Amino acid sequence: MASTASRSRISLANLSPARGSLHKQKRVGRGQGSNHGGTAGRGHNGQKSRSGAGIKPGFEGGQTPITKLFPKRGFVNQNERVWAPVNLERIQHWINLGRLSCSPEKPITARELLFSGCVHDIHDGIKVLGDGAEFLTSQIYITPSRASKSAIRAIEDRGGQVVCKYYNPLALQDCVKGRTDRITAAPTRRQDIMWYSKFQNRGFLSPDLLKKLGDAPFVEERWKLLSQQLGKWRKQEFDVEKKKK
């Protein structure tokens, strides 16, 4: 009791930094007595001892940098995407183990696949493949970024539904974190817009797919709005081409 009573109460008056967390400022050019006088720690002569010597990384004093000595081949595709593949056989196995579940109200997304261990990295999105379709027995509802034709056919034959949804990096991150406070992403590249508006790809912008799904619980109102806007844009584009002819 005595030791507890003798302890001082913590307040702003007795707060201090942790021991060793603060260091004295290194003052240079203040005489030889400071051990940092004269050349101020820069040594004698040389490019790095001059004022304003901002040497960029990779600079080798004027000689040809090593990055220019080796030939380069090919190019880097800025629009390339790496999909995380998942087979129907693996999804069915995860469902049998009780590690995955789905319903029209809560379809399988990248979040469920990642947290259940069905995939180890989502990369740029999930792509469902049709390998092991003969083992698929469950009626599944899933919204990946891509799906093969064999996977779409196998899922729909069992009474399920697959809708390919567009995700940019931020939207994919929100999907994994379960955030719903931000507006979902919409494709901006013409190639993506055309791909996600085709029924054969089961794209979420396809008018035929949205008409088929009707008022399914997992259909978002934003999908219908974007599909309507896309239809108006196509009509305007068609009218402009018609006038040119």
> In the chain, pLDDT over 70 holds for what percent of residues?
97
Question: pLDDT of 129-185, one tens digit each?
Answer: 999 999 999 999 999 999 999 999 999 999 999 999 999 999 999 999 999 999 989
pLDDT category, 9, cuts 50, 70, 90? confident
Alpha carbons 124 and 47: distance in angstroms, whole number: 45
| Cα–Cα distance, 201 to 162 (Å, whole number) | 10
DSSP-derived secondary structure for 195-241? HHT-TTTTBTT-HHHHHHH-S-TT--HHHHHHHHHHHHHHHHHHHHH
User: What is the SS3 assignment for 43?
Assistant: coil
Between CA 148 and CA 201 the distance in angstroms is 8
pLDDT of 4: 54
